[in-house]
């Protein structure tokens, strides 16, 4: 299959591209490399060193004998998107190419508007490109479990049957996202559902949980094929961040009570889920939603698991929650559709945790402890970061 991986230079896009390449697909990577720029803006860096896109694509060819085409440009540039589609002629598109950090979107007005315009306009351009070039191209789009928020009823996969005043319909599941980033994904989902309806496009929305881990079968073939490992307060996700805190002897910082429960998955399962979606495409005109996670844990549980897995004594510290979210809530979310397609999950156990802790240990000298702190506060319209951003209000 000819597959374009949009955002193929990022944390998940890169290993997904390698995985699909090794599985025999013709892969093209589209990326504007802006993720690397966010690091420069924030004054942080991936824990694990990463090569430039062009260097690692060349390295992949040396290691595997397989070629990945690269297109550097921006999805908000419609002419660029058209050109990529004309040159690559994809049969499927995997779309990771969005600003994906909730705290980044909450820094201030400028970052909120940037996040929504970038994500929404980029995805709109993509929908038009598919409709105009070939409506049969299957779009596999990364959404987030965070689109649902934490309702007091079970979360279903994208749709819910509602009986109301004696009548019944199956409707889009109501969304209560918790950041301007999460909102951008909700906007995308609505736009995609509509595009499928009017133009007969086929799309799969993968509402992904929080990913942990960094090593995959392909990235470990050579150190230069590594993907990023983020532990900072803006782009680092909870479990990876806890592992870095453990190895540098920093208390594991749990926001608030730690009762926030989230769907989680191993990075290797992200790759497997994306491939399963590609191999079992949506029907013509179908907009389908898969909840892409394998287990749910509370933040407190995750901190305890990491503390248990790391030798010696690791403290857990409860810090004020910078977000506006429920610190204790009901959480039960369906996630059977990918299992039905054949997903065999890597569950979170001591072995997995120790392997992530080992990666963190190897690179502990690169850790900047100052970068870990949560500096973006939801209740403020502008958070002061240690790196000055023009236009910030105190």
Distance CA 172, CA 256 (A): 31
The catalytic position among 144, 253, 314, 375 is: 144
Q: Which of 38, 71, 148, 181 is catalytic?
A: 181
388: contact with a copy of itself by CB under 8 A = no
| 175 catalytic residue (yes or no) | no
DSSP 27-75: EEEEE--HHHHHHHHHT---SS----HHHHHHHHHHHHS--EEEEE--T
Given 86, 154, 217, 315, the residue binding a copy of itself (CB under 8 A): 154
Q: Are 240 and 83 in contact (CB under 8 A)?
A: no
Q: How far is the CB of 164 from a copy of itself (least distance, A)?
A: 4
Instruction: Find the binder of a copy of itself among 55, 134, 136, 174 (CB under 8 A).
Output: 174
Cβ-based nearer residue to a copy of itself, 193 or 343: 193
The answer to whether the CB of 73 falls within 8 A of the CB of 80 is: yes
Binding mask 83-122 for a copy of itself (x = CB under 8 A): --------------------------xx-xx--xx--xx-
316/282 Cα distance (integer angstroms): 44
- Asked if residue 46 binds a copy of itself (CB under 8 A), the reply is no
Q: How far apart are CA 204 and CA 289, in angstroms?
A: 6
Binds a copy of itself by CB under 8 A, chosen from 59, 326, 355, 378: 378
Give the strand pairing for 316-319 and 210-212.
unpaired
> With respect to a copy of itself, which residue has the nearer C-beta, 364 or 379?
379
What are the CB-based long-range contacts (under 8 Å, 24+) for 339-343? 341/276, 341/277, 341/280, 342/276, 343/269, 343/272, 343/273, 343/276, 343/294
Number of Cβ within 10 Å of residue 198's Cβ equals 9
Report the candidate in 360, 338, 241 with the shortest Cα–Cα distance to residue 299.
241
Between strands 167-172 and 159-164, the pairing is antiparallel
Q: How many of the chain's residues bind a copy of itself (CB under 8 A)?
A: 53
Q: Which stretch binds a copy of itself (CB under 8 A): 89-97, 165-173, 202-210, 228-236?
A: 165-173
First-last CA distance in the chain: 50
**Does 384 sit near a copy of itself (CB under 8 A)?**
no
Q: Is 372 in the site for a copy of itself (CB under 8 A)?
A: no
Could you tell me the CA-to-CA distances from 108 to 38, 217, 388 in Å, in that order? 15, 39, 12
What would the x/- binding string for a copy of itself be over residues 311 to 350, using CB under 8 A? -------------x-----x--------------------
Decide whether 186 or 359 has the Cβ nearer to a copy of itself: 186
**Looking at 8, 90, 178, 213, which residue binds a copy of itself (CB under 8 A)?**
178
Question: Residue 372 Cβ, how far from a copy of itself at the closest point, in Å?
Answer: 23
**Rounded to 5°, angle at Cα 163 from 161 and 167:** 120
Q: Contact between 176 and a copy of itself (CB under 8 A)?
A: yes
Query: 186 and 147 in contact (C-beta within 8 Å)?
Result: yes
Q: Does the footprint of a copy of itself cover residue 198 (CB under 8 A)?
A: yes
Which phi and psi (to 5°) does residue 24 adopt?
Answer: 100, 5
Is 330 part of the annotated catalytic residue set? no
185 included as an active-site residue: yes
Candidate list 183, 203, 247, 271; residue touching a copy of itself; CB under 8 A: 183
Q: Which residues are catalytic?
A: 144, 181, 185
Residues that bind a copy of itself (CB under 8 A): 78, 109-110, 112-113, 116-117, 120-121, 124-125, 128, 131-132, 151-154, 160, 162-165, 167-169, 171-180, 183, 186-187, 190-191, 193-194, 197-199, 324, 330, 378-379, 381-382, 393
């Amino acid at each position: 299959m000819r597959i374009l991986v949009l955002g193929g230079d990022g944390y998940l896009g890169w290993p997904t591209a390698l995985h699909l390449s090794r599985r025999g697909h013709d892969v093209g990577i589209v990326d504007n490399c802006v993720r690397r720029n966010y690091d420069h803006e924030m004054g942080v860096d991936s824990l694990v060193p990463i090569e430039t896109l062009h260097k690692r694509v060349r390295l992949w060819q040396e290691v595997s004998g397989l070629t990945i085409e690269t297109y550097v440009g921006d999805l908000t540039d419609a002419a660029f998107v058209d050109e990529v589609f004309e040159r690559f002629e994809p049969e499927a598109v995997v779309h990771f190419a969005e600003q994906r950090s909730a705290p980044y979107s909450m820094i201030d007005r400028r970052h909120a508007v940037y996040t929504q315009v970038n994500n929404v306009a980029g995805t709109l351009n993509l929908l038009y490109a598919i409709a105009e070039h070939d409506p049969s191209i299957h779009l596999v789009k990364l959404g987030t479990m965070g689109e649902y928020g934490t309702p007091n009823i079970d979360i279903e996969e994208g749709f819910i049957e509602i009986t109301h005043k004696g009548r019944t319909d199956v409707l889009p599941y109501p969304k209560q996202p918790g950041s301007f980033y999460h909102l951008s994904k909700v906007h995308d989902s609505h736009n995609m559902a509509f595009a499928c309806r009017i133009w007969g496009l086929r799309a799969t929305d993968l509402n992904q949980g929080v990913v942990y881990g960094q090593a995959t079968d392909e990235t470990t073939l050579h150190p230069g094929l590594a993907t990023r490992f983020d532990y900072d307060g803006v782009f680092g996700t909870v479990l990876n961040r806890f592992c870095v805190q453990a190895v540098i002897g920093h208390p594991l910082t749990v926001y608030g009570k730690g009762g926030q429960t989230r769907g989680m998955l191993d990075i290797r399962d992200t790759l497997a889920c994306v491939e399963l979606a590609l191999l079992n495409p949506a029907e013509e005109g179908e907009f389908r939603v898969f909840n892409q996670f394998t287990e749910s844990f509370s933040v407190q549980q995750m901190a305890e698991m990491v503390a248990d897995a790391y030798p010696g004594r690791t403290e857990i510290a409860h810090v004020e929650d910078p977000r506006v979210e429920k610190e204790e809530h009901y959480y039960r979310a369906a996630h059977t559709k990918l299992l039905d397609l054949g997903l065999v999950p890597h569950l979170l156990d001591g072995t997995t945790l120790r392997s992530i802790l080992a990666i963190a240990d190897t690179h502990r000298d690169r850790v900047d402890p100052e970068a870990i702190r949560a500096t973006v506060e939801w209740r403020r319209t502008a958070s002061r970061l240690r790196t000055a951003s023009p236009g910030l209000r105190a």
